[in-house]
Amino acid sequence: MNKRVLVTGGCGFIGRHLTRELLDNGYQVRVLDSLIDQVHGGTEAQLDPRVELFQGDVRDAMVVRPALIDIDMVVHLAAEVGVGQSMYEIARYVGANDLGTAVLLEEIARTQISRIVVASSMSVYGEGLYEDSQGRLHNNVRRNVFQIGPGAWEPLDQQGQPLSPVATDEEKPVDLASIYALTKYAQERAVMIFAEAYRREAVALRLFNVFGPGQALSNPYTGVLANFASRLAAGQPPMIFEDGRQRRDFVHVRDVARAFRLALEKQQASGHVINIGSGVSWSVAEVARLLAEAMNVPEIAPEILGKARAGDIRNCFADISKARELLGYQPQHPLDGSLGELAAWVREAGGTDRGPEMRRQLEERGLVS
């Protein structure tokens, strides 16, 4: 009999790609999703008709309990997403992410569900891993919020010397720089602690910057590439905090969906926290320019704001050695080969540019300096 998987948050960007990945590989799929407007805007209609949809809030045990009936494994994606918004809608993020996970786990405890895979985030690292001019690694770097500014964006060592970012592996200690990061780490640890206590199998995937067709273009907190695309589609320059040289790892959503399937299947992954990225770093300004070229508006240069946003980090990109070893994971959709596909989807999908609204919300609360 085919395995039955419940995907919480399965109507979201990653969730829709994951449901297709699971269906294509012989799984039966049920989705539990609250279908909030900021994230979805009617995208539940894009679900494969073979998916069984339960609409409701993961914090409601009376919704979660029937959704778990006859389920073998769970992928827990349901969460509020976005560093910036988490810094002023704190109760919303803690409630949805942490209380939601707690309710889900209490209900799983009533069942015989064998494996849980939870979506964590690269944000739990805070700053990524760095090395100094002598090649010594620094795993506890944090910028002084009172000193960040033009000409002083990069982290320094204790002697005031510049540090160079290197790929971040799972051994790097967490350093929670935002409410969003705090809630994602709480989700991750709650699942792992629960699994050990109840003798279940669990895997946590720390996702880096996920991109691809299907992102919510009208949600300014959904991801940097979707934000840039919405701005460019409206003929406006992408807005970039700091100086644009901060480096990130962009991983295609289809690679992420495959990683989740592998995390359900690979016995050796149980009990592990695993990075899921591309293993390649890009500067944010460079990505904005590449996307403008892909969207045939190369003359629209990004707007470099020269301001820092509370909760943001400077550099973080993935070491994916563990994913290769435990999951057999290998990225197949590199950023520079996938922007044409993204541009074509943006032209078809459209979207509302809400970047200025996001910036206003942050500035009104003193969260941009």
Lookup: tokens for 329: 């994971």
Longest dimension (CA), the chain: 62
Which residue stretches of the chain have pLDDT < 70? 1, 37-45, 218-222, 311, 350-369
Nearest-CA neighbor of 172 among 117, 116, 123, 223?
A: 123
Q: Is 130 known to be catalytic?
A: no
Does the pTM of the predicted model rise above 0.85?
A: yes
Q: How does pLDDT run across 303-348, given as a tens digit for each residue?
A: 999 988 776 899 999 999 999 999 999 999 999 999 999 988 888 8
Residue 212 is predicted with a pLDDT of 93
Nearest-CA neighbor of 228 among 296, 284, 178?
A: 284
Kindly report the number of other CB atoms within 10 A of residue 250's CB atom: 26
Asked if residue 323 lies in contact with residue 259, where contact means CB atoms within 8 angstroms, the answer is yes
What DSSP character marks residue 347?
A: H
Q: How does pLDDT run across 38-63, given as a tens digit for each residue?
A: 554 544 457 888 999 999 999 999 99
Residue with token string 């289809």: 254
Burial class (CB in 10 A: 0-12, 13-18, 19+), 150: exposed
Lookup: tokens for 104: 């889900």
What is d(CA 107, CA 100) in angstroms, rounded to the nearest whole number? 11
What is d(CA 224, CA 232) in angstroms, rounded to the nearest whole number? 12
Query: What is the three-class DSSP state of 233?
Result: helix
What is d(CA 223, CA 226) in angstroms, rounded to the nearest whole number? 6
| Domains observed in the chain | 4-364 (3.40.50.720)
Residue 42 is predicted with a pLDDT of 46
What is d(CA 193, CA 51) in angstroms, rounded to the nearest whole number? 30
Question: Measured on CA atoms in the order 296, 336, 314, 134, is the torsion positive or negative?
Answer: negative
Asked if residue 105 lies in contact with residue 191, where contact means CB atoms within 8 angstroms, the answer is yes
Residue with token string 């993961």: 58
Half-sphere exposure (CA, 13 Å, Cβ side) for 132? 13
Asked if residue 251 lies in contact with residue 258, where contact means CB atoms within 8 angstroms, the answer is no
Catalytic member of 27, 130, 180, 329? 180
Asked if residue 166 lies in contact with residue 237, where contact means CB atoms within 8 angstroms, the answer is no
DSSP string across 92-112: HHIIIIIIHHHHHHHHHTTS-
